[in-house]
Each structure stands twice: as structure tokens, then as C-alpha cells.
């Protein structure tokens, strides 16, 4: 296990390095720049700004400087939100997104796994059809439609839930619902198909033949194996959902990290693009390692290499 961990950490470091390098050079290939605006900046001002942020140097030199800083844990200063450190921007906003995302994931698991299992056990019956109809809708409908519909229904028409910010537990309800809708639907579908697969296996028939109760055979044998694909899905899903959603955060005015992924690119805020990308890559890699370890715990037959 120890050797495995060292190997994974080393490969994670290499992956991060490649991600950082690729992102760095790709973002400079995109036309435009951080200091462009509808009203032209004077050439002197532009020059001063480029000098101040080191953008007047060749890209290669900038890359080396950036990599030196990043090794020290310094992600630089935002070019758009002048004066704000990228470390601070991520440090302040990630907890907000992560808090919301963690609740949404818990709900997605708590609802998605039972729903998928129930659908599989009732295959072809009306309950299965209803659950799969809802799940398909959840996957097909884009999040801005879900978020806006929720806000309009519960906030504007019924006046029972607040529509912006996160100042009380009630404020979490709408954004969490909007965030949890897609993963819940996805997990239900995944769980249903994997459960159907498991239910058809020989060992399930054997278990039943041995006279094990329906309840026990489901929980002891079926669920444990059927949940594996869900766990695989949860790695990347966790990374994405914890870092926030651009759409949900914008609609519910949530000061999270999700909005920064998109706006940093639109603004050509190079340090912030790098910071958010590296951070997301780091989370993705970490989550995948955790998923691999969780695999081993749930299914001891799996060998970690």
C-alpha cells in the first residue's frame, strides 16, 4: 500500500506539471489580453501594466518565472481583480463551493443509490418507468433551466425560499437542489443498470438457492458489487461539484469558486486561469486516488498496482 501511495503521488505530480505547462502555453495562444476594454487603454498605460505584471517578457521566461513561484506555493496576483492574490481567491471561495457541493453530493448518493436499486428491482414495472423518466429528465435538462425554474417557483411565485446568498440554512435549499439534480439522476441510472447486471450473476442465483433472505442477498451481495461503478463516477464528480458550478453560483449569487473558472478565461486573467486549473487538476487527481483506495476497501479482490 505504501509503495502504491508513493507511486501515485509521483505520477500525480507529473500530471500536474503537464497540466500546468499545457495550460500556460495554450492560454497565451488565445487572442485578446487581460487589459483590453471597450475604451482603448493608452499605449503608455498598457506598457506600464504589462511591465508591472511581467507580461512584457517572452512567454518562455514568464513560464519559468511562473513555475518557480508555483513551487513555492504562490499562484500569483489576479490581473482583473487587481491586488487580490489567487491563493486568497481560491482560499476564500473554495470552502463556499465545497460546502454547497458536499451537501449536494450527500443528497445525490442518499437519493440516487436507493432510487436506482428500487428501479432495478422493479424492472419494467410502473415504478421503474417513473424513476427512469425523472432520471432521464434530470440528465437532459440543463442546470440553468433547473436553477431558474426552482428560483421562479419557490422564490418568486410561492415566496417560501430565499433566492440569493447563503446566509441561513434555508438559503441552501434551492442551490443544493439545483446542484444535486444532475448527479442524483446520473447515479440512479448508473445504479439501476449495474444492479440489473449484478442481479443476473451466478453468485446471486447461488445465494438465493442457498436460501438467503431477499433482504440479505441484496445488501450483502448485490449492493456491494453494484455500487462499484457509482464510486468510479464519484471521483471526478466530487472534484467538479466541490469546485462549484458557474451557472448555479451566478443565478443564486453565491460567492464560490465555480464562477471564477469561466470568468478568468473571459477576462484573460492568466494567473487565475492557471490557479483554478491547477487546483481543479489537483482535486481530480486526489479524488481518483481516494476512489482507487475505496475500491480496494469495498472489493478486496482488486489489486492496487
Partner 1 sequence: MKRKMGILLVMLIILALFTGACRDQPPGQQTPKNTPTSSAQQTEITVHVGPEPDIIDPALNSAVDGATLLIHAFEGLMTLDQNGTPIYGQAESCEQSDDGLTYTFKLREGLKWSDGKPLTAQDFVWSWKRAVSPDTAADYEYMFESIEGYAEGNLNVTAPDDRTVVVKLVAPTPYFLELCAFPTFFPVRQDVVEAEPDTWTLNPSTYIGNGPYMLQEWAHDSHMIFTKNPNYWNASAITGPDKLRFLLMSDDNAILAAFQNGEILFADSMPNDEIDAWRDKPEFNLEGQLGTYYISFNVQKAPLNNPLVRKALVLAVDRDYIVTNIGKAGQQPAGAYVPTGLSDANPVMEFRDVGGDYYDPSRQGYQANLEAAKKALADAGYPNGEGLGTIEYLYNEGTGHQLVGEALQAMWKDIGVNITLISQEWNTFLNTRKNGEYQIARNGWLGDYNDPISFLDMWVTGSGNNDAQWSNKEYDAIIAQVKASSDKNERMQLMHQAEDTIFDEWMLCPIYYYVDIFLKSQKLQGFYSSPLGYKYFMYSTVQQ
Judged by CB under 8 A, the chain residues 192 through 221 that form the site for partner 1 are: 219-220
Read off the C-alpha cell for 141: 435538462
By CB under 8 A, is residue 159 in contact with partner 1?
Answer: yes
Judged by CB, which is closer to partner 1: 92, or 201? Answer: 92
Q: How far apart are CA 192 and CA 91, in angstroms?
A: 38
Residue 85's DSSP bridge partners are: 77
Judged by CB, which is closer to partner 1: 8, or 99? Answer: 99
Applying CB under 8 A, among 76, 239, 245, 267 the residue interacting with partner 1 is 267
Q: How far is the CB of 141 from partner 1 (least distance, A)?
A: 16
> Rule CB under 8 A: which of 224-243 touch partner 1?
224, 227, 231, 234, 238, 242
Q: How far is the CB of 37 from partner 1 (least distance, A)?
A: 7
Q: How far is the CB of 189 from partner 1 (least distance, A)?
A: 19
Q: How far apart are CA 93 and CA 275, in angstroms?
A: 13
Angle between helices 143-150 and 169-199 in degrees, nearest 10: 130
By CB under 8 A, is residue 286 in contact with partner 1?
Answer: no
Helix (H) or strand (E) holding 91: helix 86-121
CB-based burial, 4-22: b 16+ in 10 Å, e otherwise: eeeebeeebeeebeebbee
DSSP string, 94-114: HHHHHHHHHHHHHHHHHHHHH
By CB under 8 A, is residue 33 in contact with partner 1?
Answer: yes
Closest CA to 276 of 76, 34, 65: 76
Q: How far is the CB of 126 from partner 1 (least distance, A)?
A: 29
Q: Which stretch binds partner 1 (CB under 8 A): 55-63, 145-153, 196-204, 274-282?
A: 145-153
Closest CA to 187 of 105, 102, 129: 105
Applying CB under 8 A, among 8, 229, 250, 289 the residue interacting with partner 1 is 250
Judged by CB, which is closer to partner 1: 249, or 278? Answer: 249
Applying CB under 8 A, among 54, 91, 142, 165 the residue interacting with partner 1 is 165
Judged by CB, which is closer to partner 1: 162, or 271? Answer: 162
Q: How far is the CB of 259 from partner 1 (least distance, A)?
A: 7
> Rule CB under 8 A: which of 105-144 touch partner 1?
105-106, 109
Q: How far is the CB of 223 from partner 1 (least distance, A)?
A: 8
Q: How far apart are CA 68 and CA 81, in angstroms?
A: 23
Q: What is the CA radius of gyration of the chain?
A: 24
Closest CA to 281 of 11, 7, 8, 20: 20
Instruction: Determine contact, residues 241/179, Cβ cutoff 8 Å.
Output: yes
Q: How far apart are CA 66 and CA 60, in angstroms?
A: 10
Read off the C-alpha cell for 6: 508513493
Applying CB under 8 A, among 68, 82, 125, 205 the residue interacting with partner 1 is 82
By CB under 8 A, is residue 156 in contact with partner 1?
Answer: yes
Q: How far is the CB of 253 from partner 1 (least distance, A)?
A: 5
By CB under 8 A, is residue 36 in contact with partner 1?
Answer: yes
Applying CB under 8 A, among 29, 40, 72, 209 the residue interacting with partner 1 is 40
Q: How far is the CB of 138 from partner 1 (least distance, A)?
A: 20
By CB under 8 A, is residue 49 in contact with partner 1?
Answer: yes
Amino acid at each position: 500500500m505504501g509503495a502504491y501511495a508513493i507511486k501515485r503521488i509521483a505520477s500525480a505530480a507529473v500530471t500536474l506539471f503537464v497540466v500546468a505547462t499545457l495550460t500556460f502555453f495554450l492560454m497565451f495562444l488565445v487572442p485578446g489580453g487581460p487589459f483590453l476594454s471597450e475604451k482603448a487603454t493608452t499605449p503608455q498605460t498598457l506598457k506600464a501594466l504589462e511591465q508591472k505584471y511581467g507580461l512584457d517578457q517572452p512567454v518562455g521566461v514568464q513560464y519559468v518565472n511562473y513555475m518557480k513561484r508555483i513551487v513555492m506555493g504562490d499562484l500569483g496576483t489576479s490581473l482583473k481583480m487587481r491586488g487580490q492574490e489567487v491563493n486568497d481567491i481560491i482560499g476564500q471561495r473554495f470552502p463556499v463551493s465545497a460546502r454547497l457541493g458536499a451537501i449536494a453530493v450527500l443528497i445525490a448518493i442518499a437519493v440516487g443509490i436507493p432510487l436506482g436499486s428500487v428501479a432495478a428491482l422493479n424492472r419494467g414495472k410502473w415504478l421503474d418507468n417513473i424513476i427512469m423518466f425523472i432520471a432521464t429528465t434530470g440528465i437532459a435538462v440543463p442546470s440553468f433551466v433547473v436553477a431558474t425554474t426552482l428560483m421562479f417557483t419557490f422564490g418568486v411565485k410561492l415566496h417560501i425560499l430565499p433566492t440569493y446568498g447563503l446566509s441561513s440554512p434555508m438559503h441552501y435549499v434551492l442551490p443544493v437542489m439545483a446542484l444535486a439534480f444532475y448527479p442524483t439522476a446520473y447515479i440512479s441510472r448508473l445504479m439501476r443498470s449495474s444492479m440489473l447486471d449484478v442481479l443476473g450473476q451466478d453468485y446471486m442465483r447461488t445465494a438465493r438457492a442457498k436460501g438467503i433472505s431477499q433482504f440479505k442477498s441484496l445488501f450483502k451481495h448485490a449492493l456491494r458489487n453494484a455500487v462499484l461503478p457509482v464510486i468510479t463516477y464519484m471521483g471526478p464528480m466530487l472534484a467538479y461539484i466541490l469546485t462549484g458550478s458557474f451557472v448555479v453560483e451566478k443565478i443564486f449569487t453565491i460567492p464560490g469558486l465555480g464562477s471564477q473558472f469561466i470568468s478568468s478565461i473571459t477576462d484573460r486573467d492568466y494567473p487565475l486561469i492557471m490557479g483554478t486549473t491547477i487546483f481543479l487538476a489537483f482535486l481530480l487527481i486526489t479524488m481518483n486516488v481516494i476512489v482507487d483506495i475505496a475500491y480496494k476497501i469495498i472489493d478486496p479482490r482488486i489489486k492496487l498496482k
